[in-house]
Chain A
Amino acid sequence: MPPSDLPDDAARVLSADKAAVSRALNLVEDRRPEAQTAVTELLAALKDAPKAAGGHRVGLTGPPGVGKSTLTSALARSVRRGGRTVGVVAIDPSSIRSGGSLLGDRARMSFDPSDAGLFVRSLATAGEVGGLAYAANSAVRVLAAAYDMVVIETTGVGQSEIDIMHVADTVVLVVQPGSGDVLQFLKAGIMEIPDILVVNKADQDELAQRAVADLRGALQTARAVGATGGRDAGWEPPIVATSATKGTGIDELIAALDGHRKHLEATLATRRRQGEVQWALDLFTRKHGEHGLSTLGGAAQLQARAERDLDDGETPLSLCEHLSREYVAALGKTP
């Protein structure tokens, strides 16, 4: 895509023209060095989109098999019925052996193909072992410029449960009854992350009630040691029981999401900026480790630098790229 098309295409993204949104997503997925200028320009052009500032970025995470895709589908349909537009980023793992992936989410979703207010893009993790897809952060920014709500559905394994914090305004952790997952989350410190908890597949009343009770207990334990509410001590994560297949509890989930979004109003810009800083540094640290951090002056200094650079129009990806180059150059100078 020649850069001269950008302003026009960016304008079309803002008006949620599906062809333009799709092209923009193709561009941010493009890993070629020669494409990066265009990516940066596009994201800069979309940065101050009215939808982006007022919108809501929701991350759905939780272990494989809890019904995240079906829940995403039910949530998107209900939000659409309420009049808001929705963009979905569904992430599936890439095969380590072949580099390929099976993006199966659409199979679980039933959407009206003529609906101009709903857009679903599947992304493969592509080398980000256990984490979000390479382009997830940028894809969310593209969709946030075009749609009122953006839902990011993670693979639910490993690093992705942490990464989602840096991308989403609201993190929803999905579990299913009788799975024993809650204990694992407590151990792994994952209870610190979610802003909302969902017990999906709550068709079997007794089991579901027990799961809700378990979660409530787990939250209390976590709260006692000061490890809840994710990034926000003033927020008590609500617990919602849903059945995505029967469509029950979805309205309650939307109400909880809206409640959290409202709660964030004053701090949203800061939260998003922190997320981007963190994501850029995480990417860099994953590539170059502690040695990378210390070579470039340590975590605190890099953090301040990241905040500045992001203000100047860098994206987390391009920033990470620049830091990498500086690190490699620095390595060359070390005797």
Chain B
Amino acid sequence: MAEDGKLKRDKPWIMRTYSGHSTAAASNALYRTNLAKGQTGLSVAFDLPTQTGYDADDPLARGEVGKVGVPVSHIGDMRALFDGLPLDQMNTSMTINATAVWLLSLYVAAAEDQGVDPSVLRGTTQNDIIKEYLSRGTHIFPPAASMRLITDLITYTVKDVPKWNPINVCSYHLQEAGATPTQELAYALVTAIGVLDAVKATGRVPASEFGNVVGRMSFFVNAGIRFVEELCKMRAFVELWDRVTRERYGVTDPKQRRFRYGVQVNSLGLTEQQPENNVIRIVLEMLAVTLSKDARARAIQLPAWNEALGLPRPWDQQWSLRAQQILAYESDLLEYADLFKGSEVVEAQTQRLVESAWAEVQEVLKRGGAVEAVESGYIKQRLVESNAARLRAIESGDQVVVGVNKYVDGAPSPLTENLDEAILTIDPEVDAAQRAALVRWKEERDNAAVEQALAELQRVAKADENMMAPSIAAAHAGVTTGEWANTLRQVWGEYRAPTGVAGAIVKASGSGPAAETIARLRKRLAELEARMGRRAKLLVGKPGLDGHSNGAEQIAIKARDVGFDVVYEGIRVSPEQIVASALEEGVHLIGLSILSGSHLALVPEVVERLREAGLGDIPVVAGGIIPEVDAERLRRGGVAAVYTPKDFELDNIMSDLIDLVDRRHAAE
């Protein structure tokens, strides 16, 4: 077949790198280089203030500006981001959710400024706010308002920007939060069903055109290291989506029933120890989503080998892009039909996943659907339990992670010889520069037009009209991201999602060394309680805008299970709130979790404010993706201990925490 050398090769998937940092201009330069290296699409990473609807000058944005992505505050930033990049020729994926309507409006307005008709734009807005409540944590508004924004964007693009993917239903972040393949399948499908049902309920799409909406649904999926099962998971997705679209929505056109998906392979399993091994993990995971022609990803972005250490540099990202290019252009993969059709093994595993996922879909629908199961905490609790089980398996060695719990000794890696230079650091001046630019922007624009645009935005938010039109008008008028979001906060309010930790049930370890360790820790806490008169109380806080709460959740659950009283406040709390809670709750110890890289701004601020409040004697520990040089600075500034992804043995952390409380009590 392929030996004749004439067979037509399949078109490769779109190759992207999730990138953006510092400023719009710096990110624009990065995009140009990426495209020159052979990348075929753009994937914009926005910073956390932009994702959660704050301007750089908001107190909550402290330390976060330009960190995990690019700040886009207004149409001027959006123009600069795509300067010299003709938008009619780009395929742009934007990882944006709560503020997706706003960022798409800025994109459309910037295209209009370039003289491009919005109807030709191609790309994707992630726009899946449901999973934000479960995993990623950048939601702003209550579920009903979020669902309205999702459907407003969908009904707009299906009509006016027909080649746009208005939503990427994300199972990706569910796996990052611990989901098993069955859970990943089921919860992504119920989210898609919830969205389609909501679009239907708007009554804005005639029944005859509903197939167009279904046909534009796309998914954003994860691929982990068990790559055979992951390959079967993708085939199960194809089968289940075909079933849902046919049976629930009566779509007859097979093209509109196709399961279209993009991928970012697993970041959760990337290790800080022997980080070069991550390259092999990334390649294996990519195979899961490319080998099946009948279930192949349409777009892929790969993480970099050093993501567990800090932000990757351009060279690190280039290495991952090269992996894609070698598979697509050098290997013969794209010359063959589906490799697994008729394979009994693959087919049987696929069917097992189809059946278990379908049962869980029915369970959620029985509970009223995705939104209900988010609000009640049902889904979140299931995820927290799965993640706890996964971490326990790694800790006990039941799940092998090379370089972490097995084969840990090896020669030192030349790649990390100079560790502090093996990651990207963001210039701390970026924050101030963005704030200054914002002041200039507000001085130079027509503020009367801004007022008018915001008034119209508010009117529409209260009415039953699409939010896109007033948002595009606001983009042209020079409105900022913070102004757009604050206007809507006033109308709809904000939402704090269930944390899922309180009811999470972690299976007892039974007997053996793990159970003995737990018993020992519990005994120590009971003895400490007898001496102190009160049970040791731990405050787990997530300062800043970072919503990746898995680490904080697992620490909270583990601490409860060894016998701490644990106060967990959920995501996005300010240093002031953490100090107020520490004071009111009378805690013995504070643990802070930060994954966005803003630890140098936020942790010392908490420590300083504790001192000012007369609570300087409460030990503070910090956890997150914290490079050693930063950890040293934090320890010098009074932080008792710093934990990073390599500290996977939670029991050891717990033992340290008990020591800290014990020592402080002894000193009293």
Contacts and interface: CB of A to CB of B under 8 A. Distances in A.
Nearest to B572: A110
B585 A121 contact: yes
A207 B534 CA distance: 44
In the A-B complex, the 3 residue pairs with the smallest Cβ-Cβ separation, listed nearest first, are A107-B570, A30-B533, A113-B580
B501 interface: yes
Interface in B566-609: 566-570, 574, 576-577, 579-581, 583-586
A31 B533 contact: yes
A120 interface: yes
Contact of B583 (A19, A30, A32, A100): A19
Interface in B193-207: none
B496 A22 contact: no
B574 A100 contact: no
B559 A100 contact: yes
B565 A107 contact: no
Contacts of A100: 525, 535, 559-566
A107 B566 contact: no
B501 A104 contact: yes
21 contacts: A22-B583, A25-B586, A26-B586, A30-B533, A94-B565, A97-B508, A97-B561, A98-B560, A99-B529, A100-B560, A102-B556, A102-B568, A103-B565, A104-B499, A104-B502, A106-B570, A107-B496, A107-B570, A110-B496, A113-B580, A120-B584
A42 B270 CA distance: 54
Given A65-B376, A100-B566, A22 B502 contact: no
Interface in A62-77: 65
Nearest to A106: B569
A19 B565 CA distance: 20
Contacts of B557: 102
A247 B533 contact: no
A32 B563 contact: no
For chain B, the bracket of interface size reads 35 or more
A41 B527 CA distance: 27
B522 interface: yes
A92 B502 contact: yes
Contacts of A102: 501-502, 556-557, 560, 566, 568
For the side of the interface on A, what is the size category?
A: 35 or more
B566 A35 contact: no
Nearest to A126: B535
A188 to B, nearest CB: 22
Contacts of A18: 583-584
Given A29-B533, A95-B561, A107 B142 contact: no
B585 to A, nearest CB: 6
B561 A98 contact: yes
A267 interface: no
B534 A26 contact: yes
A114 B565 CA distance: 25
Interface of A: 18-19, 21-23, 25-26, 29-32, 35, 65, 92, 94-95, 97-104, 106-111, 113-114, 119-122, 124, 126, 203, 245-247
Contacts, number: 122
Contacts of A113: 574, 576-577, 579-581
B495 interface: yes
A291 B534 CA distance: 30
B254 interface: no
Nearest to B558: A100
B506 to A, nearest CB: 10
Contact of A95 (B526, B560, B581): B560
A21 B583 CA distance: 9
A245 B495 CA distance: 8
A119 B581 CA distance: 9
A205 B540 CA distance: 38
Interface of B: 142, 144, 376-377, 493-496, 498-499, 501-502, 508, 518, 522, 525-526, 529-530, 533-535, 556-557, 559-570, 574, 576-577, 579-581, 583-586, 613-614
Given A98-B561, A100-B525, A121-B585, A106 B567 contact: yes
B101 to A, nearest CB: 21
Given A92-B502, A99-B522, A245-B495, A121 B535 contact: no
Contact of A107 (B529, B562, B568, B584): B568
Contact of B584 (A35, A94, A119, A203): A119
Contacts of A65: 376-377
Contacts of A106: 567-570, 581, 585
B651 to A, nearest CB: 13
Contacts of B569: 106-107
Contacts of B144: 203
Given A107-B496, A110-B494, A245-B142, A99 B584 contact: no
Contact of A19 (B493, B534, B614): B614
A58 to B, nearest CB: 19
Contact of A98 (B502, B563, B585, B586): B563
Contacts of A92: 502
Nearest to A22: B586
Contacts of A25: 586
A101 B493 CA distance: 30
Nearest to A27: B533
A63 B529 CA distance: 30
Contacts of B535: 99-100, 124, 126
Contacts of B576: 113-114
A99 B526 contact: yes
Contacts of B567: 103, 106, 122
Given A26-B534, A107-B499, A107-B568, A99 B586 contact: no
Contact of B525 (A23, A99, A109, A245): A99
Given A100-B561, A120-B581, A203-B144, 16 more contacts: A22-B586, A26-B586, A29-B534, A32-B533, A97-B508, A98-B561, A102-B502, A102-B568, A103-B566, A106-B567, A111-B580, A113-B574, A113-B576, A113-B579, A114-B576, A124-B535
Nearest to B570: A107
A85 to B, nearest CB: 13
Nearest to B566: A102
Most chain B C-beta atoms within 10 Å of own C-beta, residue among A26, A32, A106: A106
A122 B535 CA distance: 13
A30 B498 CA distance: 31
Contacts of A107: 496, 498-499, 568-570
A323 B81 CA distance: 76
Nearest to A245: B142
A129 to B, nearest CB: 16
B466 to A, nearest CB: 22
